[in-house]
Homo-oligomer: A and B are copies of this chain.
Amino acid sequence: MPYSYLQLVERIDVVPYRHELDVFSAFRSRVYRLIAHDGKQPLGYLLPCIVTELAQHPDIVVVDDFARTVQLHPGLKTEKERNEALSDLASQWREENVFETLKGWRNELYTIYDNTKKPYMRLERALCPLLGIVMYGCHINGYVKDEETDEIKLWIPRRSATKPTYPGMLDNMVAGGLGYPHGCFDTCVKECYEEAGLEPEYVKKHLKSVGMISYLYQKSMDFDSEDGLIQPEVEYTYDLKLDKTVIPHPVDNEAEDFQLMSIAEVDKRLRNGEFKPNCAGVIIDFFIRHSIVTPESEPDFLTIVGKLHRLLPFPLR
């Protein structure tokens, strides 16, 4: 049974909305909220198995099992103190093999923001999913347009079979995490070169920022294992219209190959579930902006657009 577009979106926007009262309550009773050291600002959702480990460190967190909150210790008043405390903890967990997720250690820092958009802390990228805090990426739709017929085709890579996450699945032309201290546009230009061999000067000239998608992801509804981690995510979206003579090709072995696919082919593979889930969301957003999916063609048009742009209940950059 092929996926509908709404089902594809609901594969990434998994966590219930607060106005779905009963189902949200059920979700809320299974998780903890991570709260800033001020005791006020929510930063993310935590699984009980993470809280159990955090609770061993009363110098870093204050756990309230009744309110189901985990507050960063009020003494962690500066960014530096928070960075050090959590970095030491992550290193210890990694050494002791406490969490599978930390095997993806990158030596790459992610910035977490406070509600005034100031950096609140900077953490190793592999730690962030464990804390259920917002993570940011950039995704680029690479396409070719026939100016005579207006027909659009998309450049679609297949992820390398050796990638630790979603091996062998279809992807957006180029995508990358937004690691400190890089900005969105610069990250795109860098990744276009590294992942697809596209010349920076060419990309800078043609790359268009077109918005973002955001959602509250949970890979599996298993609240007792790392597969059930709650992941609030933002993907900045870009369109890059390529001349017919510009051919993306694998450079850093992130991709097996690139294929130029018709809309009908991309549609078929989307509905088959062949795309990495968040890349499917980016393509559906592309289809909506380019009049390929319309209110007349798609019965769940409004719900899809709403769910693809969820206002996350945590501070954003």
Contacts and interface: CB of A to CB of B under 8 A. Distances in A.
A239 to B, nearest CB: 8
B309 A305 contact: yes
A17 B295 CA distance: 26
Contacts of A303: 311, 316
A250 to B, nearest CB: 27
A32 interface: no
A19 interface: yes
A294 interface: yes
Given A296-B184, A306-B310, A289 B212 contact: no
A17 B42 CA distance: 14
Contacts of A295: 183-185, 209, 212, 236
Looking at chain A, what size class is its interface with the partner chain? Answer: 35 or more
Contacts of A27: none
Number of copies: 2
A211 interface: yes
A24 to B, nearest CB: 9
Nearest to A303: B316
Interface in A127-160: none
Interface in A277-317: 288-291, 294-296, 299, 301-303, 305-313, 316-317
B306 A211 contact: no
A305 B211 contact: yes
Interface in A200-220: 208-212, 214
20 contacts: A17-B18, A117-B299, A183-B295, A184-B295, A184-B296, A185-B294, A185-B295, A185-B296, A208-B291, A209-B288, A209-B295, A212-B295, A212-B302, A214-B305, A214-B306, A234-B302, A303-B311, A306-B309, A306-B316, A310-B311
Interface of A: 17-19, 42, 117, 183-185, 208-212, 214, 234, 236, 288-291, 294-296, 299, 301-303, 305-313, 316-317
